Amino acid sequence: MWKNDYNRWKEFTELDADLASNLEELTSDEQSLEDAFYKNLEFGTGGMRGKLGPGTNRMNIYTVRKAAEGLATYVNDQGLSNRGVAIAYDSRYMSKEFAVETARVLGHHGIPSYVFTSLRPTPELSFAVRHLNAAAGVVVTASHNPPEYNGFKAYNEDGGQLPPEQAEIMIDFVNKVENELKVEAADQQELEEKGLLRWIDDEVDAAYLEALKGVTVQPDIKKDLSLVFTPLHGTARDLVEKGLEQSGFTSIHIVEEQAKPDPEFSTVASPNPEEHQAFEMAIEQGKAIGADLLMATDPDADRLGIAVPNEKGEYVVLTGNQTGALLLDYILGQSEQLPKNGLLIKTIVTSEFGRVISNSYGIRSLDTLTGFKFIGEKIREYEQTGEHTFMFGYEESYGYLVKDFARDKDAVQAAVLAAEVGAHWKNQGKTLLDALDELYEKHGYFLEDLQSMKLEGKSGTEQIQAIMDDFRNAEIKQAGGKKVVAIEDYATTIRKHVQDGTEEEIDLPTSNVVKFILEDDCWFCLRPSGTEPKIKFYYGVKSGTRKESEELLAAVKATVNERLHALI
């Protein structure tokens, strides 16, 4: 079947010259050729992401045009075409080209595009949609994926990624595009002359930086903090540096070797602040100057990682759960007055640490499915109803939102607040590790971990589903010596209580996720990645001490891995 699509591409006389050459190279590699054509690159609830190259299962100008055609139909269907679409892109190969292709397709349908002239962080795109009153937004990015990847993320008129209901409509429009090679795109120069392609920059930057001032909790505290920051070859340098400066920080040191945008991310194995190796250069520079805080953002600047020195002068990279707990506790503990209807929003795979902290301040917490689009959706819902006031949103994978002028995770906001939190504790003679220890002593020692297994191609997809099916249907009674209390299957939205067999509905959208709730606030969860060919295993435990939690975590992981290894 896939050979029909291959022949269609092979016989297309107007095929882009570079793609035609790449396609010719693939003909000697049957397996790679099949992988490039065996399916259409899936446009899911988070948009699409894939390897660059020719084929229906690859990111290229034709699959981007197909996505843009679906977006154009979606915008027209919503009756919002006159409001236009904001478009941003990161430092990856073909990012600007894909942004312009998107604008050309939208322009063919008479829909204006507002395109940044150079790379910008994803959260600024979210802000731009709202600031420009646009109908939708697009970011061309593959976040922290390897260099051979790129992607297309779609945003709604609220500046959030499309939640399931809207995403299903757009996915349907994209899937109805029968031939990606035949999607029409207008001439760029003509669109510019007609005002259907408008280049944007300074005005949006200035407005974002003005909004960023609202992230500050204590404007007048002493900010004598030495910072090292690396954008990991991505988009964050300009806004993070300016945001820190306008907040009052003066000792800001940039890792210059990683400051320049580079689609190869040549100084790191992975441009992901979740990976400790991404901090190597920052740590080296931090030790040289005695920095109080190190910060790293991923290429599209929606994730932030931080590292702080311990008592031996060695830098410790905090987890997303730990950073989220510190930011949350600071916001709630240092705000002059907390609203009675305040709300923390986190995801189902984020630590229970945040819930315990928010409860201690009388602030309610709410869980969503994994993915910041669900947090953005809830912000919008409560903004309209007035039922809750948004206080903070985060997920364990280094994503945080402090103020809702953006509706996606925002590493620029998080960097400015993290620096302030560091300064606050330094003024008291403490480090962020000291502050974290105080939280553990008060609330219990929470410890989490994440394992992922990469399974690529058609066979990998089948393996991932087989693993999910096995765990979903298994009668697992215990893990790490802890009894299974309940099993939450988000595909059926049913929570089953193991002891008495009773069931109840989970009030969340369906998702291919299974979570095992263990006794004593412990749990583990399985979830296929929505953006990478991986299956992820999340773990969370709690006990009285770090040593006890480490032993418990190892025991729970061992139970899961034993079953997994038997399967594989």
Q: How many residues does the chain have?
A: 568
Two domains, one topology: 36-200 and 445-567: no
- The residue extents of the domains of the chain are 36-200, 209-443, 445-567
> Which residues are CB-contacts of 151 (< 8 A; sequence separation ≥ 6)?
47, 48, 49, 50, 59, 140, 141, 142, 143, 145, 531
The domain at 36-200 falls in which architecture?
A: 3-Layer(aba) Sandwich (3.40)
Residues 421, 426, 428, 431, CA torsion sign: positive
Q: What is the pLDDT of residues 373-417, one digit of tens each?
A: 999 999 999 999 999 999 999 999 999 999 999 999 999 999 999
Average pLDDT on 368-374 reads 93
All residues at 6 or more sequence positions from 324 whose CB lies less than 8 Å from its CB, including other chains: 346, 350, 351, 353, 354, 394, 395, 396, 400
Out of 143, 351, 397, 549, the active site residue is 143
Annotation marks residue 266 as catalytic: no
For residue 531, name the pLDDT band (cuts at 50, 70, 90). Answer: low
pLDDT of 530 reads: 72
* Residues 553-565 pLDDT 10s: 999 999 999 999 8
The confidence band for 67, taking pLDDT boundaries of 50, 70 and 90, is very high
Region 437-442: what's the mean pLDDT? 96
pLDDT at 566: 86
- Give the pLDDT of residue 568: 77
Question: 445-567 — its CATH code?
Answer: 3.30.310.50
The pLDDT of residue 565 is 87
pLDDT tens column, 86-100: 999 999 999 999 999
Q: How far is CA 22 from CA 25, 28, 32, 63, in A?
A: 5, 11, 12, 16
What average pLDDT score do residues 252-268 get? 97
Q: How much is the mean pLDDT over the chain?
A: 95
Whole-angstrom distance, CA of residue 515 vs CA of residue 505: 14
Tens digit of pLDDT for each residue in 267-308? Answer: 999 999 998 999 999 999 999 999 999 999 999 999 999 999
The top-level CATH class assigned to 209-443 is alpha beta
Could you give the percent of the chain with pLDDT greater than 90? 91
Mean per-residue pLDDT, 360-368: 96
Q: Which of 69-73, 217-221, 456-460 has the lowest mean pLDDT?
A: 456-460
Confidence of residue 533 (pLDDT cuts 50, 70, 90): confident
pLDDT at 372: 94
pLDDT at residue 45, as a whole number = 76
